[in-house]
Amino acid sequence: MKIKHITHLGVLAATIAFTSCENQKRQDNLATGLDSVSYALGLDMATKIAENFKNANNHAFVQGYRDAADSTNVKIQKEEINDILRTFFMKKQQEAMAQAQDTTGTLSVVAVNANTTSDLLTEADTVSYALGLDMSYRMKPNFKEVKDALFIQGYEEAADSLKVLLEVKDINDILTNYFKKKSEADALVQKEAGLQFLEANKNKEGVLTTDSGLQYIVVKEGSNNKPSATDNVTVHYHGTTPEGVVFDSSVDRGEPSSFGLNQVIKGWTEGLQLMGEGAKFKFFIPQELAYGANPRGGVIKPFMPLVFDVELIKINK
């Protein structure tokens, strides 16, 4: 007997901001790419739940999704969600393993959820509601433009072959193509914003610019002992986006870092060679001297320039 792996259904690649749409009229066509993606996301979630969570309460899921927009209405606190989902799906997986080891061939039957309301009467109801909350919370930061009414419509119509506006087999292509184009468009916007930031910054008092485009301010001069491109150095640094969001900081950790200058981004390799031991510089690193189109994730976006406050403590010989 094959064990079917139960996954945490709340984790998806996209994110959403939601407002109540109970009174929205049903949309009978998908006129734009955003329409199709919004609907496809709901349809995709409903399909995954139907496959892996047979006794889910779809009314509770939708209610949880809606309630996430208003903390005064939530029936489950945000910090409780992970424990609820992990405990439930771990138990489901253990049940599947036990059934796989059952040599009698007896198949367990999962009853359909009889609750036709969004009230949380059973564990399955609570888990369904938690999944709706989790979906909304995870989607909110990165995909604000999604059409909320169409997301819910796609979710609710997944089981109705007469109403459904998309075929399940097309979901992956729809989502992949849309988010690929969105990512490319967002990257172009970020690239232009980075260029504008550096253009304005270079004219500020104290800013110097190298031939490569690296910008820097000498905060404190150091000794005449400067590192080469292959030296190992010990530094304190504080890295932020142009907007001031911190992404890495040895200063905040309270412990300096050591590394080879041939093991870091080009802007660091060039910039540290301008510093003597004991110096403190502020660097404004163009994206082509940083991570370019392929950042390491987190708050660093494609084509984003980076800002670093750096103190060269010593050159390690």
pLDDT digits (tens, 9 = 90+) for 82-128: 999 999 999 988 888 887 787 776 656 667 888 999 999 999 999 99
List active site positions: 237, 247-248, 265, 291, 308
The confidence band for 22, taking pLDDT boundaries of 50, 70 and 90, is very low
For 204-316, CATH number?
3.10.50.40
Question: The tokens of 261 are what?
Answer: 């200058």
Domain with CATH 3.10.50.40 in the chain: 204-316
pLDDT of residue 188 exceeding 80, the answer is: yes
- Rounded to two decimals, the pTM is 0.68
Q: Is there a contact between 245 and 221 (Cβ–Cβ < 8 Å)? A: no
- CA–CA distances in Å: residue 90 to residues 8, 104, 226: 9, 24, 56
CA dist 295 and 288 (Å) reads 11
* Angle (CA) 300 302 304, round 5°: 65
pLDDT of residue 9 exceeding 50, the answer is: no
- Least reliable range by pLDDT among 97-106, 182-191, 209-218: 97-106
pLDDT at 110: 67
The confidence band for 70, taking pLDDT boundaries of 50, 70 and 90, is confident
